[in-house]
Structure formats: C-alpha cells, structure tokens
Amino acid sequence: MSFHATVLTLFPEMFPGPLGTSLAGRALRDRIWSLDVRDIREHATDKHRTVDDTPAGGGPGMVMRPDVLAAAIDAASPPGDGRPRLLMSPRGVPLAEPMVRKLAAGTGVVLVAGRFEGVDERVIAARQLEEVSIGDYVLSGGELAAMVVLDAVVRLLPGVMGNALSGATESFADGLLEYPQYTRPAEWEGRAIPALLLSGDHGRIAAWREEQAAAITRERRPDLIERRARERQGG
C-alpha cells in the first residue's frame, strides 16, 4: 500500500507544485505515494461559497468557519481513517525529524492548509487536528508549509532515495547537523579536500565526520546538543 496524502486547501491549483518534480515527483509517478487535493470551498453552503467569517469578540481579519472545514475534513477522512490530521499553523508544534520519520512510517497524512487569521478553535478540538509549524514566521497560507511536510516525509519512503543510507547520514538524523561534504576536483580555487577524506581509512573518516558534525551543531544549534544529551540520559 502506498503512502496516501490528502491536502485540504482553498487553492488546489497550487498542487502538486514542486512535489511534482525531483524525488517526490518521480515517486508520485511510480505510485510510491499518492496525493489527493481537495477544495474546502466545495463544502460551503451558500451561493458565494463562503468559508470564513468575522472573529467573535472583534478583531482584524477573518476566521475559517468550523462547519465548512469540518465537512471538508469528514469527506476526506471518514471514520476508520487512521491517518493523522495536521493543521499547518504558526502556533503549532515545530516540525522536526522525529515527527517526519513517524509520519513516513505510517500509511499517510491529512494536511489542512489554513488561511486568514486562523481556524475556529472548535473544529481543531472536534476533529482532533494536530497543529504543526515549519518555523517561527507567518505565511499567507498553509499550502507551502504542507508542501514542506510532504517533501520531508516522501523522501524517506522506501524506494524514493537511490541510496537508503542517505537519509541516515543527513542533518538531524542523529540529532546533529550534517558534517561538511566535498567532491572533485581535489583542489578548487586553492582550497583542497581534507587529506583524511582521501586516505581510504573509513574508521578515521567516520570519526572525523562525527567530530565535525558535533562542532558545527555546537556552534550553530546548541539547543540540539542539549536535547541530544537529555535524550541519551533518558530525560
């Protein structure tokens, strides 16, 4: 069974977008995963296809209606669908590698791309939407964030990457940022590849790469070093 992704959006024409190219696109054509994009407006009940309304209590902008969005979710993910439901939201849990790997190990995902000022809180609770953020900034909508989630997940599906070890040696795979990479030519603009990498001593190369990964992570993301230490201590 292939990984089945459903995206609920007000702009279905944005998909597959970049997901139709490169690794994700090839995997989509090879049916390693499938993408079902649904227009939330199809579940509006008035002639204007209204999906939003003014915020209760006042304030700027508009809020997505719970009745319309719930109908869209129910149609896309009926009872018995065990796929997690994610709402792309700047206030959500930060997307991280453990979540990506957990999703990739499942059967699929339902992604809700929010718009306007947000989504009525009642539908988040009633339909058990898990809010997920791809960073501490605000986008005009959740579509690009949904694409980020799917790209990160799809590349980990069996058969997508040519070398199965690639995903195991990249940034965040072991809680560290990735070590420096080099390739031919051996010297470029007076800068040479570290001699150790050309030595053929795989044990020393592995140790060097681990040291470099730790040093880069300590410099750029000390929070990852602290988290890794806590996880290794069981806390």
Instruction: Kindly state the average pLDDT of the residues 158-170.
Output: 70
Taking the C-alpha atoms of residue 233 and residue 219, their distance in angstroms, rounded to an integer, is 22
Domains, the chain, in order of start with CATH, read: 3-154 (3.40.1280.10), 169-232 (1.10.1270.20)
pLDDT at 174: 78
Among 87-96, 135-144, 221-230, the range scoring the smallest mean pLDDT is: 221-230
Tens-digit pLDDT profile for residues 74-88: 999 999 999 999 999
Strand segments (E) across 43-94: 52-53, 63-64, 85-94
Residues near 141 by Cβ (< 8 Å), separated by ≥ 6? Answer: 9, 10, 11, 113, 114, 115
**Cα dihedral angle (111, 114, 118, 120), rounded to 10 degrees?**
-60
Mean pLDDT score of the chain: 94
Q: What is the pLDDT of residue 172?
A: 73
pTM greater than 0.85? yes
Assess whether pLDDT exceeds 80 at residue 92.
Answer: yes
Coil, strand or helix at 139 = coil
57: pLDDT strictly greater than 60 = yes
CB 87 within 8 A of CB 132: yes
